[in-house]
Each structure stands twice: as structure tokens, then as C-alpha cells.
Amino acid sequence: MAKKVKLPADANKKAKLIVDLATGGEVGVTPNDEVKAAAAALGRLGGLKGGKARAKALSPKKRSEIAKKAAAARWRNKNN
């Protein structure tokens, strides 16, 4: 299955992309896309270890206080 191409918001860029796709031309990956992909990968790595590292650094008492506050927020009436 072909990968879906996101069309740019700019009308001129969108028109060029459509012509390139229709004529079988090369739809290149811009360096900006590569930078975004690399940044997303780094952010994901940090996100995967962030919660565990934070929990390890907190005392059991502090973790319990945070959990109680979170539970209260989940059960709080949203209409008030």
C-alpha cells in the first residue's frame, strides 16, 4: 500500500506536489522532514524513560501524595 502524502497548505507547493505525483516524478524528502523525524525519535526516547526515572527519584511518601492528588482530580466533578 502506498504511503499517504500530506499536502502542503501553500497552493503553489501543493500544485507542484500533485504534478510530481501525477507524472511519476521524485517526491523528495526535505531536510526539514529528516530533522523532525530525528527530533521525534529523541523525544520518544526521553518520554519512555521519564516516568520511571521520576518515580525512582521520589520518596514513597511523595509518590503517594501525587497519586492521591491525581485520583482526586480524576473524580472531581467537572461541572463545578
Place 44 in a pLDDT band, splitting at 50, 70 and 90. Answer: confident
Q: Tell me whether residue 43 is exposed, middle or buried, using C-beta atoms within 10 angstroms of its C-beta: 0 to 12, 13 to 18, 19 or more.
A: exposed
What mean pLDDT is predicted for residues 31-44?
82
Q: Are 27 and 34 in contact (CB under 8 A)?
A: no
Domain boundaries, the chain: 30-74
What mean pLDDT is predicted for residues 35-46?
84
Percentage of residues of the chain with pLDDT beyond 70: 88
- Is the confidence at residue 68, as pLDDT, over 70? yes
Cα–Cα distance measured from residue 21 to residue 56, given in angstroms and rounded to the nearest whole number: 51
Cα–Cα distance measured from residue 5 to residue 28, given in angstroms and rounded to the nearest whole number: 11
Cα–Cα distance measured from residue 14 to residue 8, given in angstroms and rounded to the nearest whole number: 5
pLDDT tens digits for range 1-32: 566 777 888 999 888 888 888 888 776 656 67
Give alpha helix (H) positions in 24-59.
Answer: 31-57
